[in-house]
Structure 1
Amino acid sequence: MAPGVLAGAATLALGLTALAPAVAVPSDDSPSSGQSARSKPDNRPGPRTAKQLRLKDKALAMLDNGSAKLRSRQGGGATVALGGGTFVEFPVDKSDKIFTILSEFGDTGSGKLGTTPGPLHNQIPQPDRATDNSTYWVSNFDKAHYEEMFNGDGESFKNYYEQLSSGRYTATNTVTDWVKVPGNASTYGDNTVEDNGGSWSFIDDSADSWYASQVAAGQTPAQIDAYLSQFDVWDRYDFDGDGNFNEADGYIDHFQAVHAGEGEEAGADPDAIWSHRWYVGTGYGTTGPSVGGTNNLGGGAKIGDSKYFIGDYTVEPENGGLGVFAHEFGHDLGLPDYYDTAGGENGSAFWTLMSSGSWLSHGANAPAGGEGIGTVPGLMGPEEKLFLGWLDHTDVNSGTSGTYTLGPSQHTYDGADQAIKVNLPNSSVTNNYTTPPSGTHAWWTGRGDDMSSTLTRTVPGSSSVTVTASAWYEIEAGYDFLYAQYSVDGGKTWTTVGSPIDGSSRDTWKGLRYSYKPGGRESLFRFLYKTDGGVNEAGAFLDDIAVKSDSGTVIDGAEDGANGWTPAGGFAISTGVEVTNASRYYLLENRQYVGYDKTLSEGPYQFSNGLTKPNWVEFFKFQDGMLVWYVDNSYTDNNVAEHPGAGYAMVVDSFPNSLTYPDGSSPSNRREPFDATFGLDTVDPTCLHKEVAGGTRKDPTVTTLAACAGGVKQKATFDDTDVNAYYDAAAPQNSVKVAGVGVKATVTATKRGFLTVNVSNPAP
């Protein structure tokens, strides 16, 4: 069994090369909420997010191949050194603070966006529990309500992350009293403005309103700064490059705003803000705090007249359950959405917090009157824990086999694993970088970390030399560079000509021109591509290279081989299309009805009365047992609408198309994988319902249809020999095409929630 990260093990995995925009998963495809939820545009990651995640990818790869170690840092957290003074942090052995402002809306509006004032807090109508058991509501959404939800001893935000991380991470939340922003809800949340500065203005106004309330209460600017200093003890992006993340950077470490009223993702009015994680990008590169005399120009929202700014943030609704807060904070920790953000629906469903698992609850076992959905989230899957450094697991490499014990994934155990990672041969990824401007070939620098790639040519004695070329490039700005250099001493020393190139040519070919004077001597000219050990981009393609000297002009387009050039260190002739490799593996975990995973036996739901009671849900179970995830890093998302049967981290459903109504339709893919697990039990008989209209206009009728499945033995063995073994063309978005390499995992015994699993991973 691989020990946890705190013991120094690399319990992490490759992944998350590109992060999908972070938004809250819609509550459901119910008649009352589905249409508005599905049409909402995605939000964007912050200006520093993409680079941070690429660095995280590199750190994960280095940990996975043993070329780096995770080192605990004084003050909490652990880091990986990438080289060149670049470090990546993981949230292990770490405690964070979150600053939360409660904001209700004012009276200011506009004729264009709407003039309806508010809402204020505590104006959400009490649901009629005879017809609505899905809307979360309490009699008083006051400060004490959120303090209990976030920091309570029972089921709470703090407890959830402590349990999820097996004690490796904790977060406490400081909540303000309600303050009022000047604008009404439409000022910030109308769909024409929310993603175009509206939500940023809401964060800015919330911060300013809170600051004004402190001044009105008699606090001095110095006292307010002193109070806010407790929330700035973390340098999220290591802006000063010293590798120390446990220091101030002028930005609130973790900020969330709670807005009055319901969230649009739950089916509220389009004027409502859609819960999301984002970054206030106003003024990026030009404004920001000063820390120890060094400017951190990350833009953001300045908190009144204080010295602190808000950059990264999350926003949630007044009646948000614990699930939506935990989900959005997952984004704040760097996790993507696992549901389909392109309009489809995959089978991640209720199996993970980062999909519909954020909408679970105690269901039929809730307190009298019903508590609504989304009040108690389920667990994250194993890939998310790997990314965060919170998973104990065993690796099963190709050509090996063994018998392993899987404990319930809620906890870590002595003598048992949280997951089994079955490593597979890499998948191939075809990268269509560019098309050469002339002919069919161009010179390519190659792509990688710590590269020193050269393309060199001897130039006859000449008084002056001019080199021109066409270039297409994607080079990590500020870290990797393409140089033009010459030497007159046979390559002992080199002189750079012109300015180094980095950044992007924006998918166009640009002209390059360099001139130097070798004083009549023979010289060497070269292109040098240097990369660091952190992030790498596509590199540069060079075509139509012309070298003009006193002896004439030599033109080369890489069509006739080397043609006098000497490539080294990665430079090669390319068509602009290159094939790279991506890691892939299976993660086997044991989902049991313990801890927060108890919600799997209580909280999955179906909107079953769409015509007569559109806000009414029926609850059912997701089957416990061994859940198989197929992780393929050749994909960057789970958008099965765009690539059916495949994705970044997909649940393998042992019965991929088991539920069908008598009219031939099926429940959504949030329900279909209820029987996805493997094991030795009998799948619980399950019937889901829907209402259909019939009759005539004068004499309408409503008929209830049932889709039933279960009552059969679980499949004990996962066998990926057949690529299509768990793929059904009739359910292409829920089912998965597996690797097809002959991996077998058989549950042979179960005792007190622990599974014994035999795994065989044949050699390629």
Structure 2
Amino acid sequence: MVSFKYSQLGFTPLALTLSLALSASSIAAPVKYTSPADAGVINEPQIIYWLTKRGELSPDATELQKQQAVAEFTRKARANNLAVPLNQTKRINQVLANKKQQQNVAAVSTLADSDVEKAVNVLAVLVDFPDLPYNDNQLTPSDTAMYYSDYAVAHYEDILFSSSGFAGPNGENLQTAYQYFDQASGGTFSFNGEVKGWVTADNNAAYYGGNDANNNDNDVAVPELVMEAVTKAVAGMTSAELAQFDIEDPYDLNNNGNLDEADGMIDHIVIFHSSLGEEVGGGVLGTDAIWSHRFFVGASTFGSTIPGTSMKVYGYTVQPIDSASGVITHEFGHDLGLPDEYDTSYGGDGSPVGSWSLMAGGTWVGQAAGGTYIPGTKPSGFSPYARSYLQERYKGKWVNERTINWAEIGETGLSADLVSAVNAEEVNQLSIPLPVSNIAFKAPYAGEYQYYSGKGHMMTNTMTIDLDLPAQSPLVLSFYALWDIEVDYDYSQVLINNVAIAGNHTTANNPLYNNVNHYISGKSSDISSGSGSDAWVELTYDLSAYAGQSVELQINYITDQAVGGFGMLVDNISLTAEGSEIFSDDAETVSSVNVDGYARIDDTVPGLPQRYIAQLRNYQGLDEGLENIGYEPGVLLWLENSNYEDNNVSEHAGYSLIGVVDADQNLIMNGSSDVQVRDASFSLYPQLAYGSDNHLSNQSQFDDSNDFSAPLQPQSGMVLQQLGLSMDVTAQSTSSQTATVEFSRNIVVSDPDDPEITVDFDVVVTDFEAAFSASVQGGDGDYSYVWDFGEAGASSDLANPTHIYSSSNGFVVTLTVTDSTGISASYRRIVEVVIELTADFSIAIVGSNNMTVKMTNNTTGGFGALDYSWDMGDGTTLTGENPANYTYTTEGEYQIILTVTDEKGNVEKSAWTFFLPAVVEDAPDNSGESSGGSLGWLSLFMLSLLMRKRQSRR
């Protein structure tokens, strides 16, 4: 079986702000963008076929020679260069961040998500070349499974937009792109459009598809071809006819928050060229053929204008003459914002997604009709990661998800029902967010602790020190720093009294921001004076100009909407006067440094969100083709881990953005990950016979204490946290249309690696303080202790320590005990810090019309993430911790009720009653008085509110 893989060309979410921040139950992560050569559409057997047919590979070549030939032919797909335009990435992420904020303010009446329908209008253009006309394409039936004697316009109209299928090469009825997206969205997404062409390019094929040796062998001029093709296709169209292809504003270019309006750019362009793709060998063109991909025209200017019109061309997808619906829908998945889910480096065994998802090997799942199997004609459904993204971005019925909070699962178990993933009418996805634990990070410059700026977008993080400077000079501030900061867009500065000062490695003026000067960006590793493997650099600043003054010293870190490194690390701060040190802070002890966004950490940082996702897959609907490739139906358990931005398991085996937990850990001989995960589902029924797979018994139970890392082929496995979670399939219909699973967790999870020492601990939690006491048996009795309290920088070497937690939540606490002989054992459990939930808020009347209310949330306590619902008293409900100011339209008496719910289901309410419009008198001038005067005025104002309310009741 061939393993097909893909490259990253779309943008995805930032579990985080690089893309849409999904709901608390679903995560998305920042991703890298790679070469326009989409590695996932590689077809190795066809490459060998064409290399042999063209005489570039001997018919008698050995398997090793074939592998080497394929590797050389496809090396362009392994190159990683940031191909997606930076301005596009930043703009779309700003739009999505704004959209997320807007969702915190509910409209008076809105459609339920499942009732929202979305339609796109695609402009498809067929283009051939002077040296390769579409009707003289030099193809024969043996050259491609999607061979037609006539590639007429009607063929592409059908394969794209028909609601009843299209005629296959042998007369079979095959799935169209319209049908795929209709089924994937539960009937709420319509893939519509028109096909134009054939048009002929101005130049021969090699002019556009030849490889650029100076740019990772990328195709030299495909955006130019797209511009030519579209210009010719729309020639003669009226403005009104052209306008039908511009009904969306995905980048919100006018900043009005409306994404469903024209923006002056054609929304979706799908190009078909008259050759086979380079990814399948390139046909008669070889390396001069175009490699299928998603990319952009006029990348630096948000598009190029079509001559004679005011319309622009920007994003496009391109695919070959013989495309099946799999390649078309995969590339359009990028257009919708999805990343690839295979190993984009196209190396090794491949990611543990395989053909379970369209955005990985699922593109090549085919239909067997008339005795012929045609790859790519029955692509599989989306992964849970993709479904959650599409649901959050476009609404509709892409997924019907139930979130199960960690606190809901106890030792007694929690049962949940599932329907198959293709059924959008009932719950077809279960999401279990996991407790966040620390992950390894950079070691401090010296000692055990350091200061860290944090990583993310739209941040203004600072650390501040108040200093009384002596009258001596020179005064020199120095510290060691390690940084990876997006050049110019993000930056760090040292400020004295809010004024940035110059240092030995600062840049004087920022070309992007006129008001930013004397800043640090880029990477410390680019500076030759960096020391150690991580390239720590000593930064120095002359403070002599401030001698004799009391100053505020601040180190900041400022980021924009998208893209960026890990930020800034600071250690060993020192201030010298005439060469003698008068102040130092090495972060080893808690000091007077005031951190706001910065944090004092060790060599770990809090991990980003992770979740398990359960899906039920069968042989119906979009997943019908899975039967043709030997994939087993049942409950799939996925791990989504936003600590990783891609699925390049050849670089980080066992860890990926998204992957399936393979229920059957018996390796299939010589099988890639695509083959290994064919039996990943948990099921009550034995597997069907499959090739060299001799382990066909079913696995119905998942337990995270077991090893799912596939140690003999680690790129095909998943390394899991041992949290004591188990899942049992307790019921399953024979067709896998329905199933019931039961989750449970063992609150105590021990590490059994070394039975010679037994470790345990007790904990007593009082408010935020947890008192721990270790219990150890075995070993030589001379123990050392290492506690990890589950928070960044929180550890201890005491036998019975205490720790004060910063929030009410569940924390994974690990105790490792080592005796003098070096034998160690660990014990891990989840410690829950539960603070009583108290709902509270205050209000203030703002605005010139005295009809606008500002709510300030003062809620305290509660376990885990809190859910806020604001009943505004006029039929409107707002959500979010601190919703935007709300303006009433009618005078009268109102009561705002705040309802707060925590992850344990505790519910508390708080209410305010008031009358509008409020009579607000001018505040007295208290500029020369203490703050008590202002408070006195506020009290009078509130009294007038109450009096007004009482008067209205008479």
Q: Which amino acid aligns with 1:201?
A: A
Residue in 2 that maps onto 1:46:
85
User: Which ranges of structure 1 fall in alignment gaps of 5 or more residues?
Assistant: 1-7, 79-89, 107-116, 289-297, 488-493, 605-620, 661-665, 688-706
Q: Which amino acid aligns with 2:698?
A: Q
Q: Which has the higher contact order (CA 8 A, sep 6+)?
A: 1
Cα deviation 1:60-93 (Å, max 9, x = unaligned): 9x89xxx964868999999xxxxxxxxxxx9964
Secondary structure, aligned partner of 2:716: coil
Contact conserved, 1:47 with 1:281, CA < 8 A, in 2? no
CA drift at 1:308: 3.0
SS in 2 for 1:256: strand
Letter of the 1:538 counterpart: F
Asked whether the equivalents of residues 179 and 206 of structure 1 are also in contact (C-alpha less than 8 Å), the reply is no
1:259–1:316: 8 Å Cα contact kept in structure 2? Answer: yes
**Could you tell me which residue of structure 2 aligns to residue 457 of structure 1?**
466
The match for 1:230 among 244, 251, 265 is 244
Secondary structure at the residue paired with 2:380? coil
Instruction: Answer with 1 or 2: which has the greater Rg.
Output: 2
Amino acid corresponding to residue 567 of structure 2 in structure 1: G
- Higher mean Cα deviation, 244-253 or 539-548? 539-548
Q: Give the deviation of 1:734 after TM superposition.
A: 2.3
Output aligned runs, 1:402-417, within 5 Å: 402-414=414-426, 417=427
Distance in 1 of aligned mates of 2:247 and 2:28: 28
2: CA distance between counterparts of 1:561 and 1:708? 55
- 2:335 alignment partner AA: D
Given the two structures, how large is their TM-score scaled by the length of structure 2? 0.60
Shift of 1:351: 1.0
Matched residue, 1:350: 355
Whole-angstrom CA distance in 2 between matches of 1:75 and 1:311: 32
Which residue of the partner structure matches residue 294 of structure 1?
none
Matched, 1:659 2:687: no
1:386, distance to aligned residue in structure 2 (A): 1.1
Q: Determine if contact 1:546/1:553 at 8 Å carries over to the other structure.
A: no
The aligned residue for residue 579 of structure 1 is 605
Range that drifts further, 521-530 or 464-473: 464-473
TM-score where L is the length of structure 1: 0.74
1:149: how far off? 1.0
Cα 1:102–1:55, aligned 2, differ >3 Å: closer, same or farther? same
TM-aligned CA deviation for residue 185 of structure 1: 2.5
Residue 321 of structure 1 pairs with residue 336 of structure 2:
no
Correspondence for 1:618: none
* Residue 273 in structure 1 maps to residue 295 in structure 2: no
Instruction: Give the counterpart of 1:393 among 373, 398, 401.
Output: 401
Aligned to 2:648: 639
Equivalent residue for 2:432?
Answer: 422
Q: Deviations over 1:686-708 (max 9, x none)?
A: 23xxxxxxxxxxxxxxxxxxx25
2:554 to 526, 530, 535: 526
Matched position secondary structure for 1:715? coil
Q: Of residues 114, 121, 129 in structure 2, which corresponds to 1:97?
A: 121
Alignment match of 2:195 (pick from 175, 181, 198):
175
- 1:478 to partner: Cα distance: 7.8
Indicate how the Cα distance of structure 1 residues 212 and 750 shifts in structure 2: closer, same or farther if over 3 A, else same: closer
Q: Distance in 2 between matches of 1:383 and 1:464?
A: 59
CA separation of 1:599 and 1:142: change in aligned 2, threshold 3 A: same
2:339 to 336, 347, 354: 336
> SS state of the match for residue 319, structure 2?
strand
Tell me which amino acid in the other structure corresponds to 2:453: T
Aligned residue number for residue 293 of structure 1? none
Equivalent residues, number = 649
Name the CA distance, whole Å, in 2 between partners of 1:91 and 1:265. 40
Cα distance in 2 for partners of 1:69, 1:424 equals 24
1:568 aligned partner? 595
User: Could you tell me how far apart the structure 2 residues matched to 1:680 and 1:403 are?
Assistant: 16
| CA shift in 2, pair 1:101/1:735, >3 Å | same
Q: How far apart, CA to CA, are the structure 1 residues paired with 2:351 and 2:556? A: 45
Rounded Cα–Cα distance in structure 2 between residues aligned with 1:645 and 1:199: 33
Q: Relative to structure 1, is the Cα distance of residues 68 and 468 closer, same or farther in structure 2, using a 3 angstrom cutoff?
A: farther
RMSD: 4.1
**C-alpha displacement of 1:410:** 0.9
1:601 and 2:627 aligned = yes
Q: Distance in 2 between matches of 1:266 and 1:72?
A: 50
What CA distance in whole angstroms lies between the structure 2 residues aligned with 1:464 and 1:748? 76
Equivalent AA in structure 2 for residue 184 of structure 1: N
**Paired residue type of 1:742:** G
Moved more, 398-407 or 244-253: 244-253
**Amino acid corresponding to residue 415 of structure 2 in structure 1:** T
Once the 2 structures are TM-superposed, how far is the Cα of residue 382 of structure 1 from its aligned partner? 1.3
Secondary structure of the residue aligned to 1:746 is strand
Could you tell me the percent identity over the aligned residues?
A: 25
Residues 4-19 of structure 1: pairs in structure 2 closer than 5 A: 10=23, 13-19=26-32
Deviations 1:367-424 (A, max 9, x none): 46x362112211111121012223222222324132111111012124xx21111222
Contact 2:197 2:233 in 1 (8 A): no
Structure-2 change in CA distance of 1:196 and 1:518 (3 Å): same
Q: Quick check: 2:438–2:604 contact (8 Å CA) kept in 1?
A: no
Question: How does 1:43-442 map onto structure 2 within 5 Å?
Answer: 44-48=83-87, 50-51=89-90, 69=104, 93-106=117-130, 117-118=131-132, 120-121=134-135, 123-128=137-142, 135-154=145-164, 155-192=175-212, 199=219, 201-212=221-232, 214-215=234-235, 219=236, 225-268=239-282, 269-280=286-297, 284=300, 288=301, 298=302, 300-342=303-345, 343-344=347-348, 345-363=350-368, 366-367=369-370, 370=372, 372-389=374-391, 390-399=398-407, 400=409, 401-414=413-426, 417-432=427-442
Give 1:335 shift: 1.7
Task: Point out the more displaced range, 33-42 or 262-271.
Answer: 33-42
Q: In the TM superposition, what is the alpha-carbon distance from 1:318 to its structure 2 partner?
A: 0.9
* CA shift in 2, pair 1:263/1:530, >3 Å: closer
Give 1:612's aligned residue: none
Instruction: Tell me: CA distance 1:555–1:39, structure 2 relative to 1, closer, same or farther (3 Å).
Output: farther
Amino acid at match of 1:273: I
Q: CA deviation at 1:311?
A: 2.8
1:706-736 superposed Cα distances (whole Å, 9 cap, x missing partner): x2546x44212122222x1x34333333233
CA distance in 1, matches of 2:294, 2:116: 22
Contact residue 431 and residue 614 of structure 2 kept, 8 A: yes
Do the aligned partners of residues 601 and 249 (structure 1) sit closer, same or farther apart at CA in structure 2, a change above 3 Å counting? same
Contact 2:252 2:259 in 1 (8 A): yes
Equivalent residue for 1:614? none
Partners in 1 of 2:745 and 2:461 — Cα distance? 37
Matched with 2:742 is 758
TM superposition shift of 1:755? 0.9
Matched AA of 2:159: M
Greater alpha carbon shift after TM alignment, 322-331 vs 507-516: 507-516
Q: How far apart, CA to CA, are the structure 2 residues paired with 1:671 and 1:165?
A: 28
Structure 2: distance between partners of 1:466 and 1:95: 65
* Cα distance between partner residues in 1 of 2:241 and 2:214: 30
Does the 8 Å CA contact 2:90/2:562 hold for their aligned counterparts? no
CA gap of 1:461–1:239, structure 2 versus 1, over 3 A, is farther
Q: Does 1:721 align with 2:705?
A: yes
Q: d(CA) in 2 for partners of 1:458 and 1:150?
A: 68
